[in-house]
Amino acid sequence: MNRLVSGIKPTGELTLGNYIGAIKQFVQLQNELPDTEFFIFIADLHAITTPQDKQLLKSRIKEIAAFYIACGLDPNRVNLFVQSEVMEHALLGYIMESTAYIGEMERMIQFKEKRRNQEQGVRTSLLTYPALMAADILLYDANIVPVGEDQVQHLELTQTLAERFNSQYGDTFVVPKPYITKVGAKIKDLQDPTKKMSKSNDLSVKSYILLSDNLNQIKNKIKSAVTDSDTSIYFDEVNKPGISNLLTIYSALTNLSIEEIVEKYKNETSYAGFKIDLAEIVASHIGNIQTKYNELIASNTLDEILDQGAMKAKMFASRKMAKVLNKIGLKRKK
Q: Which of 42, 197, 233, 247 binds ligand ATP (CB under 6 A)?
A: 197
Tell me if residue 292 is catalytic: no
Query: From the list ligand LTN, ligand ATP, none, which binds 141 (C-beta under 5 to 8 Å, kind-based)?
Result: none
Tell me if residue 199 is catalytic: yes
Instruction: Residue 42: count other Cβ atoms within 10 Å of its Cβ.
Output: 26
The letter for the amino acid at 72 is: G
Site for ligand LTN in 6-45 (CB under 6 A): 6-9, 43
CB-nearest residue to ligand ATP: 21
Tell me if residue 196 is catalytic: yes
Query: From the list ligand LTN, ligand ATP, none, which binds 198 (C-beta under 5 to 8 Å, kind-based)?
Result: ligand ATP
CA angle 70, 8, 254 (to 5 degrees): 50
Catalytic site residue from 199, 292, 312, 314: 199
Tell me the site size for ligand ATP, rule CB under 6 A.
Answer: 22
Closest separation between CB of residue 322 and ligand ATP, Å? 29
Q: Give 235's contacts (C-beta < 8 A, 6+ positions apart).
A: 243, 244, 247, 258, 262
For CA atoms 137, 138, 139, 144, the dihedral sign is positive
**Calpha distance 203→235 (Å, rounded):** 27
Catalytic site residue from 24, 188, 196, 221: 196
Catalytic site residue from 9, 114, 221, 275: 114
Q: Which of 69, 131, 137, 249 binds ligand LTN (CB under 6 A)?
A: 137
Instruction: List alpha helices for the chain, DSSP H.
Output: 16-18, 24-32, 44-47, 54-70, 88-97, 102-106, 109-116, 124-138, 152-169, 215-223, 241-254, 258-264, 272-297, 301-328
Give residues in contact with ligand LTN (CB under 6 A): 5-9, 43, 46, 133, 136-137, 145, 147, 151, 154
Query: Annotated active-site positions, please?
Result: 114, 196, 199
